[in-house]
Each structure stands twice: as structure tokens, then as C-alpha cells.
Amino acid sequence: MIYKIYDNKNSQTSLQSTATTSSSDTDRLDYHNSLDPESDFNYKVNELLQLKIDKDIEDKYWILNTKLQDQTNLQIPSYYYSQDESKPILQPFDPRFTLSMYYYYINKQLTLNKKIETSKATLSSFEENQNSLSLKIPFNWYDWIEMSILDKFILAPDSIKPNCSILSAELDHKIVQEQKLNITTLEKEWNEAKKKEEEDKKNAEEAKKKEEEEQKKKEEEEKKQKEEEEKKQKKEEERKQKEEEERRQKEEEAKNQQFQPQSETKNEPQDNQKQQEETGSEDNNPEENKDQNNENSNQVEQPPKLKRQLSKREEEFIKLLKDVKPVEEWCIPNSKLPDNHNDGHNNHHPGFNVFKMPGRTANEKGKIIGKSYMYSFAPPPSSIIFLTDSGSYTVDIDSNSGLLNNEIPENYVLDTSSKEIDILKEFNKLLKNHKPNTNQVMNEYSYTVPASDFHVDCNSIINDYEKKISKGYSLTRKEQNYYNSLKYSIYKVENGGPTKYFDEARLLGTSHGDHYDWRFFNGIRLGSTEQLLTLHRLVRAWSSFTRKNGINTWIAHGSLLSWYWNGIAFPWDNDIDVQMPIMDLHKLSLNFNQTLIVEDPKDGFGRYFVDCGTFLSLREKGNGLNNIDARFIDIDTGMYIDITALSISNTKPPDYYLETLPTDFKKDDKNWIPTNEKLQIYNCRNNHFTPLEDISPLIKTIVEGEFAYIPKRLSNILSTEYKHGLSSDNFEKHVFIPKLRLWIKEEDLYYFLKDRQKWINYHTSTSNLKDSYELTKEEISQLNKDKNPYTNHYLFKLTKQQLDKISNFDYNDVLDLLLKDDIMINYLLTRDFTAFHEQEIMKLTWGKTTNSLIQKQIDFNPLKFEPFLYNLKMEFETFENKVYNLKELESYYKSDIEFNPFEVKETTYDL
């Protein structure tokens, strides 16, 4: 029990509200109810938390405060208002500075428009129509993405700037090949060692068996020899007796005859042969037999050669090492930039300029390549949508001018006479003065999706546009792009099949880059805290954007399964899947393709890019290059949500669906569309089929703390996709603990069960000399001695007995489990939301409506820390420091010091 561990004195420090709960509802601070076991448990958790905070020498619990609060105010760089200071070439990126300046600018422009419009119409009519007005803003990607990796190249004098060869992947290709050979050699050595170990084991067993057989044979021979000696002795006695009788007979005969020698001589060989037969002796040499037996026994049957356990990985290596393109195919040096090239950077370029996807490259160079493309060649977004808690603002782009050149910061200083800016203050001013667009917001609890939303006739859409064009209608830029996309899609499908649309960060030596868009790639985040924070914000932003813009969508596959368990993502997930009807995909492509989505700044500073694939007309798998229809991309990391549309198609459905057809229905194996229409089942381009009755109606829920929609019959969908998904509480090295409503690592549970007292002592000690409860490397090696170290085996696989014990944990058990800081923090951040989800899923399981539960629920704060602020905290960095350092770097490059800062080092490759 906790109270035996700590000296629970009356602390003068009260429990901080931001650390006790992740909810904004202050009523939830009081968890104590002795009649409710969970309430009493949470009361004890809060007491434990206070004790931990009092002894938090390492300051671990700051991450509990997911509210922005005092982290929104910035100092404006002095070069925006000082008469004596010239502007630098570059400015460090900070989303708070960019967004606060644009909230100020949008507010100012809408106010000016309002003054103009009020002279033509009443204020009320303006308020109704202000969002239909086209508001345009200047835009440059350098203000919206962290590109500091390019700074040293951009600032360097032209005489020492590198060219495209610095980004070449050919040398990295050779390095990975060498590492591949090393891996193969290590694997071969492991297999040989394993084979020798098995042979030694088999030889030892054979030797033991042989020894037992020889002992048995020896005992049998001794027994047989004894019997033969007894028999021989008896025979010898009989022979002597017979000889004595013969001698007497011979003496009698000798009296009558002179001699009889021949009969004795003649019969002697016969007697000897008979004697040999009677004594059981053999012609073959027993020593010879013994040697022959030993020779046979030493012929150990060699085991078959072990199957190479890394053969699949080696095949993957061969695949990953291909597609290294010459650098001149995707990059041009500064000297070859066209004269009319205008990216808003006033000819300040890094020496190399990437203009398209480079093929496979190295990790560090991949980051530079993506940023180079965004700096020099990436087109601006088609529009920007700024989300709020109730709606959104939409603006278009009018130029590629950045904040250093568009005079927005200077005007802010003039208008406010302030040298500081606060993003939340500017955002709240905008909200107060101009209402966001709420026309498309979906607030209904339940929405029936019509079957017609799963069928789109692309040819009919094209014909409608061509009729408009023939009548003189001028298509908008978005309509023109959508129209061109449909025409090109139909052409490619009919002529050889479409090419791959989406390009991931394809890295040498690993497939992990496939989870990142190459343009926004900023390094692999697999298994990191930043990955968890980013995925959490991605889901929230997608749900907010689609619901506030009237787009029907729902989480799917593993993301839907994780929601079923506790409303949040599995801790081991590295991707997110969502689905939508094909009609909504067309709506997304027409109205929002290439749009930049900005998170509600009260929650965070995320920016997300909507990218819709070109080949909308193809609804079968085709050549398999375009199973994903669209992506929602985090531009800070390149991580994304995969978006797939469900549609009627000419794809054969699974047989279990065909069994439900009426007996008189005639199937056409060459045209499955009538069959699928009859069954009302729809599929994505990866052949996942879902019946309409399982999808519709969509019901309102909360995913990762944000309002969203899910299919009402989600259990049917999940049962079809995952045989044991709704019941298996042990998966991917984690176990679900119901009392915490969290997936806990098997490794933690292994140690907890192995020696609970050591666990308690370690996680309650404030000493630097803690007595660790973890296994040593030697013990882990012994634990996993029969497992290939080059494959992904469990380190701490729990037994059935241990899993049964875990399933019976009581509140005292989990209270001790929470002594580990990481588990405690995760529980505190999620407990309010997962408690809500538990109520919701119970109602849904029993077929009850959750309408009242959803409608009265307030917004949850983000369940995880803001990713940008998290990185600042971990780097001990501030915007003001970055401004100072960049100015110093620029001055340094202007000095006469000679040096070469442009070695792009690649130290490791994830093989």
C-alpha cells in the first residue's frame, strides 16, 4: 500500500489543479467518495501525485499541463521597429509568431472590409455574408515550416555554397550495402552458432543414449556369459563323465583288439565343432563387432540447415537499396535557376534547389531535401482554414511574400505601439470582432448516410462542367483543378493505369520513412514521445476540420479498434486510418485540396496540409499503386492520416456476402456493380468491404477528446476485420488494465510481478543510488537465449498464469503500478476522458443511445502536450534566443573566417 511507502505528512503545498486533472471541469477535482471504489482510488491517486510533485527533483510532471497559458506571448524582433537595425536575410520559425501576426492581419482586413460594405448594406446583412467575401493574405512557406536546417547554406557566401552533389545518395547507398553485408555476416554467424548448439545438444543426447545402451548390453553380456559358463561347466562335467565311460569301454575293448586309433582321430573335429556349437561361440570377432557398433553410433544424423530467419528482411534490403536516382534528375544548383524563378526569397538560396521527389535517400539528407523543395519550388496552398471551437475562417493566397517583406509585423507595431505579441489575445480579438463561418458545422447526434453518397459518375461531372464552359461560365481555380483531375484520371485509367500519386520519405536501409510525406519529412519519430503527441493532434485536427466543414468521415481499421477500447490510439500505433463516402471525397477534392488547416490556437499551433490524389475515377485496386485516396499531413513532421473512400465498384465481394443474395438473383462475374448495389456493400481501393447497414447511421462521439462521428454498428465492422480484436486484451507487447483503462507495457508488468517490493522501492526512492529492479543484460540474454537477436521477438513475454493474475488486479495493485512516473502521467492525462468513454461504450454495447451523454459533454482539453512547445522545452530554447542566434550566425558568415560547415554527416542507418 502507498501509505506504507511514504511518510504522509500534512503538506503545506496544495495540489495544483493543472496536475490533478486533464479536464477543464473543476467539479472533477473532488474524487473522494468512500462508497465508490474508483472515486476513493482516484482520491488516493491525487494524494500520491502531491507527494510525487513535492519530491519531483527531475521536474517530470510539467507535461501534465496541456493548457497553453503563459506560453503564448513573444517579443517582437527589434529589426521590425528599430530605425538603426537592418532586417536580416532570415528569421527563425515559430508558429506562435506567424499565427499571431496573421490573426492580427485577418482581423484588420475584415474590419476594413466591414467599413466598406456597411456603406452598401446593413450591418446584419454583412454579418450574414462576410464569410463569402474573398480575403487574401500574403504567404511564404518559410514562415510556416521549421527550415533552420537550411540556414547555414542560405547565409553562406556564394563562393563557398555547396551544389546538388552534397545531397547525392550514391555514397550512402554504398554504406548501406556494406552494413547489409555486416548484418548478413552477423546473421550467418548467429545461425552457425545456433546450428552448432543444436548439434552439440543432439550429440550429447546420442552419447547418453549410447552409454545407456552399452551399459545394458554389458549387463546382458555378463548375464549371457554367466549362463554360458554354467552351461559349459555342465557340458564339461557331462563330457568328463562320457570320457570316463568311453575309457572304461576302451579298456574292455583293448583286451580284445590290438588298436582302434582312427575312430578317435576322425571324430575329434566333429566333437570340437559340436563343442563350439554347444558353448555358443561365434566365428565373427567380438572386438570387430564392438568397433563396428562404435562407428555406427558416432554417425550422428546432421539436422537440416536452419531456415534463414532474416530472409524476408534481406529481400526487403534488396528492394530498399534500389531507386537511388542521380541527383541531377531532381535538383538544380543556384546557377541554373530560371531568371523568372520567383519564390519570394530575393535570390537567397542554399546552393542546391530540389524540384521533385528524389527517390531513395539517407535520413539526414532527406530532411534537407524536403525543406529545400518547400523553400524553392513548393506552390503555396490553395487556401488556409483557421479553425475555432465553433467554426472556421477561410482565406486565399495573393502573393509569396514572407513576414520579413510583407510589412505585417511593422504595421502591427505601428497599430498597437507594442513590442510584444500574444497569439491568444490576437485570436480572441478576431473572434470578438468577426464571427467564424459556422454554416457547414455538423452538430446532429445521428446522421443517415444515403446510398447515393457511395456512387459518383465522373463522366457526368465532366459533362456538366463542359456545358458550363460552353455557355461562358468561368471556372474558379479550385473547380478548374478538380475538372482537370477528373479528366486526367479517366484518361490514365483507360491508358495503362495511373502512376503512384503519393510520395513518402523513402530512406535507405529502412521502410520507416514510408510513414512520412517526403516534402515535410523532419526525421523518423518511431516510438518517440513526439510521435504520440503528433498523432494525437492529427486526429483531433482532422475531426475538427471535417465536422466544421460538413464532411462525413469516420475513423477506421486499427484506429476504430483502439477507440473501442478506451477512446484513444493504441500506444504502439504509428498511423491513423479514416474513411468517407466517395461523394465526400469529391467534396474534399473540389473544395479543400491543397488547403492548409490551422489548429484552434487555444489547443495548439498545428498546421496540416490536405492532399487529395488525382485518380478519383478509379474505384478498384487496379495496379495497387493508389490504395490511398487522400492524406491529412502534419507539416511539422510529415506524419499523416490515410484517407480512403468507400464506393460502389466492379470488385468481387467476399463470398460470405454473396451467400446473402436472393436465390433468384443472377450474378455477373464480369460486372459486380449490380451485385454490390443489391447487397449495398462498398469498398475502398484496398478491397475492404463494408455494408451500408454497418456504416449508417453515423453517430456523434468523442475521439481523442474531440467531437467526431463513428459508424453505429462498429462492432460488426471490427468483428469482420479483427477476429479477436474486441476481446483480446494482450497485444503488441501491451496488456489492457481495465481499472486504469490503459494499455500497459508487458515489460513493466513483468518487472512489477517479478519483484513488487523492488518496484516500489525504486519508484519511491529520491536517492540517486537506486537499487534497480530491472534485469541485467546477461539476465535478459539468458531469458531470450533461444531467440534470434535480429528478429523482433518479445523480451518479456508474460505467461498465462501471469496474465490471469493481472486480470485480477485490485485497486491496491494498480495504485502500486502507478508509482512509475510514466504510467502515472499517462493515467492522469487520460482518466477523465477514458472514464467518459467507458460510460459511452457501455451504453452502445447494450444498444442504448448516447445522445444525452454526448450533448451535455463539454470539450476536453488536449490529452497530450503541444508538440512544438514540447520540443522547445526539451531543447531549452526560446524564440528570442533563436532570433539572437540567427543574427549571430549571419554576422559570422559575413566575417573573413574560412571554414567548411557543409558536411552533411550520416552516422547511422536504421537497418
Domain boundaries, the chain: 13-55, 73-169+338-440, 170-216+307-323, 451-716, 731-855
Looking at residue 34, its pLDDT comes to 58
Looking at residue 353, its pLDDT comes to 97
- Confidence class for position 597, pLDDT limits 50, 70, 90: very high
pLDDT tens profile 270-280: 444 444 444 44
Amino acid symbol at 570: F
Determine the average pLDDT of the residues in 178-194. 59
Task: Indicate the range of 2-11, 163-172, 335-344, 444-453 predicted with least confidence.
Answer: 2-11
pLDDT tens profile 282-315: 444 434 443 443 443 334 334 344 444 445 555 5
Q: Peptide bond before 601: cis, by omega within 30 degrees of 0?
A: no
Kindly give the interhelix angle for 714-721 and 557-566, rounded to the nearest 10 degrees: 120
Listed as own residue / partner, the contacts of 70-75 with beta carbons closer than 8 Å and 24 or more positions apart are 71/866, 71/869, 72/96, 72/100, 72/422, 72/423, 72/424, 72/425, 72/601, 73/420, 73/421, 73/422, 74/100, 74/420, 74/421, 74/422, 74/423, 74/879, 74/880, 75/419, 75/420, 75/879, 75/880
- Confidence class for position 19, pLDDT limits 50, 70, 90: very low
- Confidence class for position 532, pLDDT limits 50, 70, 90: very high
Above 70 in pLDDT, residue 678? yes
Taking a C-beta distance cutoff of 8 angstroms, is the pair 195, 303 a contact?
A: yes
- Confidence class for position 907, pLDDT limits 50, 70, 90: very low
Looking at residue 237, its pLDDT comes to 79
Residue 462 in grid coordinates? 465532366
Q: In the predicted model, what is the mean pLDDT of the chain?
A: 84
- Confidence class for position 630, pLDDT limits 50, 70, 90: very high
Give, for 189, the enclosing helix (H) or strand (E): helix 170-256
Task: Indicate the range of 208-217, 332-341, 746-755 predicted with least confidence.
Answer: 208-217
Looking at residue 193, its pLDDT comes to 65
Supply the Cα-derived Rg of the chain in whole angstroms.
Answer: 40
Looking at residue 239, its pLDDT comes to 79
Give SS3 for 841: helix
Above 80 in pLDDT, residue 187? no
Looking at residue 75, its pLDDT comes to 96
Above 80 in pLDDT, residue 554? yes
Looking at residue 310, its pLDDT comes to 47
pLDDT tens profile 333-350: 999 999 899 999 988 999
Give SS3 for 406: coil
Bridge partners of 735? 730, 744
Label residue 116 exposed, middle or buried (CB < 10 Å: 0-12, 13-18, 19+).
exposed
Looking at residue 238, its pLDDT comes to 78
Tell me how far apart the alpha carbons of residues 751 and 130 are, in angstroms, rounded to a whole number.
61
Bridge partners of 555? 578
DSSP state letter for 359: B
Determine the average pLDDT of the residues in 663-668. 91
When comparing pLDDT for 860 and 294, which is higher?
860
Give buried/exposed letters for 130-155 (b at 16+ CB in 10 A, else e). bbeeebebbbbbbbbbbbebbbebbb
Bridge partners of 597? 385, 608
Listed as own residue / partner, the contacts of 291-296 with beta carbons closer than 8 Å and 24 or more positions apart are none
- Confidence class for position 424, pLDDT limits 50, 70, 90: very high
Task: Indicate the range of 345-349, 560-564, 619-623, 768-772 predicted with least confidence.
Answer: 768-772
When comparing pLDDT for 397 and 894, which is higher?
397
pLDDT tens profile 223-270: 888 888 888 888 877 777 777 777 777 776 665 554 344 434 334 444
Bridge partners of 706? 703
When comparing pLDDT for 402 and 190, which is higher?
402
Give SS3 for 41: helix
Above 70 in pLDDT, residue 772? yes
DSSP 739-751: TTTEEEEHHHHHH
Tell me how far apart the alpha carbons of residues 864 and 537 are, in angstroms, rounded to a whole number.
8
Looking at residue 316, its pLDDT comes to 59
pLDDT tens profile 482-521: 999 999 999 999 998 899 999 999 988 788 899 999 999 9
pLDDT tens profile 101-133: 999 999 999 999 888 877 665 545 544 444 445
Above 80 in pLDDT, residue 781? no
Model-level pTM? 0.81
Determine the average pLDDT of the residues in 800-822. 95
Report CA dihedral (694, 695, 700, 701) to the nearest 10 degrees.
Answer: 70
Above 90 in pLDDT, residue 629? yes
Share of the chain above pLDDT 90, in %: 62
Task: Indicate the range of 22-31, 130-139, 765-774 predicted with least confidence.
Answer: 22-31
Bridge partners of 393? 386
Looking at residue 718, its pLDDT comes to 96
